Amino acid sequence: MPRLLLLRHAKSSWDDTSADDFDRPLNARGRMAAPVMGSHIAAHGLAPDRILSSSARRARETLAGMLPHLDGDIDIRLTRDLYFAGEDRTIDQIRAHGGNVATLMVIGHNPGVQETALALLGDGPATILESLAAKFPTAGLVVIDFPAMKWVDIEPKTGRAVAFLRPRGRKLVEIRADDEEA
């Protein structure tokens, strides 16, 4: 059963107004949130086998902040195709690059990350679905499981929300499917 970790890049800086959007770095809050997210992913056994990330600077810096916390070999692929990709392009990238890995992480941008999550989810706790629909914050992460056996077979409205994590300073607010079903 494939598992998707769909992550919005951490908070970026708007300090340099002359910088091209693609080249905007993380701000202090973003540099703090990325390692918190990486640590949580590792501590909860969510480490991906492959990471597909936007090649925009803020996405790469988010990835760099998480990597020290993730053990093992991870296949990392950077692509400009995720830079402000909408749901259709993001789903195409998931299908094209998921290969045979069990857990795939995609690091992208809003509104595409939120649109993709909502398009792929067909089931899950109401608290997760409502939170996702209301806001997908920077460094937010949704964990989605699919019944399909291969990434190329992923279809909209077939995923099940397992967890939704949002950074709050040095902590994370987590909504898990287990919380609601217990």
Q: Which domains does the chain have, with CATH numbers?
A: 3-122 (3.40.50.1240)
Q: Which of the four pLDDT bands, split at 50, 70 and 90, describes residue 17?
A: confident
31: left (phi over 0), alpha (psi -120 to 50) or beta: alpha
pTM: 0.93
Report the C-alpha gap between 28 and 50 in whole angstroms.
27
Report the percentage of the chain scoring pLDDT > 70.
96
- Quick: pLDDT tens for 66-88: 999 998 899 999 999 999 899 99
Q: Are 33 and 63 in contact (CB under 8 A)?
A: no
Task: Specify the pLDDT at position 179.
Answer: 61
Task: Specify the pLDDT at position 169.
Answer: 63
